[in-house]
A = this chain, B = another copy of it.
């Protein structure tokens, strides 16, 4: 919810979000919005709970940080800490407050008239039974298959081809992208926390951005980001059944074979080739020109140009030595 005066007093916000803080702070500071450490600006509220992102904490412009007491030593001067036993849950509450309805998105029941959609998008080649919500932009020379759902605010570029039974929401699809049958693009990611048997769902108001020339196989799923975007770089090709979790960023000209899974918030460089059924853990950084063998399980960062294989993945040399 957007504040009426363009800001809330911190004490108002904490009350509205049902958050209790264990330290005394200046309750009259203004809060204008909430975001992750990287995107936050002055008078934003953010949170710190994963020590991997300590560099972002040091550089953040957020004024208020929800965090655990044990990390207080890393907090830069001038920031207001909100000490919490469950900073992730409290941050989710704040985000859900500023971005309501950003978890499971229902369809827009007012967009159900095929005739109106046809009238509006006269030049688009729709298949049988199309559904497009409000505020969707579709480029030239676009071909859409049967039973396709495109939800509000999506942007579809020129020369895009979309197969049958595809669902697209919260996404920007650039020119020359092909999306095969049965793929789900832009649904909310897998994020929630339980506290005393109550489930707090992590909001997902990021987008999926698929850059120019990409190809997405059949029955793939690409989740949208929570507080930032999920991004697929130009000319990256994915085979069938690929799973891309929230916040993943993939570079240009990567090749992902079938049944690959990439867990949340992992960065992948350019020209990376990933063999079938390989899995990559969350919050990792995979360099440029990396080759990952089929069925590998990657649980560490990989430097540029490396070739790895195995579970857990090691250098290809070591894998061969181990298994001869």
A residues whose Cβ falls under 8 Å from a Cβ of B: 104, 106-107, 109, 112, 114, 125, 127-129, 131, 143, 145-147, 149, 161, 163-165, 167, 178, 180-182, 184, 187-188, 190, 192, 194, 197, 199, 213, 215, 217-219, 221, 223, 235, 237, 239-241, 243, 245, 253, 257-259, 261, 263, 276-277, 279, 281, 294-295, 297, 299, 310-312, 323
Contact = CB atoms under 8 A, between A and B. Distances in A.
Contacts of A253: 194
Contacts of A197: 235
Nearest to A282: B276
A182 B190 CA distance: 16
A104 B31 CA distance: 50
Contacts of A149: 127-128, 145-147, 164-165, 181
A37 B139 CA distance: 41
B147 A129 contact: yes
Contacts of A107: 127, 143, 145-146, 164
Contacts of A180: 104, 184, 187-188
A217 B244 CA distance: 13
A9 to B, nearest CB: 33
A128 B131 contact: yes
A104 B178 contact: yes
A239 B165 contact: no
Given A161-B106, A235-B199, A294-B297, A243 B245 contact: no
A218 B168 CA distance: 12
Given A112-B127, A163-B167, A217-B190, A241 B239 contact: no
Contact of A221 (B128, B129, B192, B241): B241
A279 B199 CA distance: 26
A203 to B, nearest CB: 14
A39 to B, nearest CB: 25
A129 B107 CA distance: 13
Contact of A147 (B161, B165, B184, B263): B165
Contacts of A184: 180-182, 218-219, 240
Contacts of A223: 240
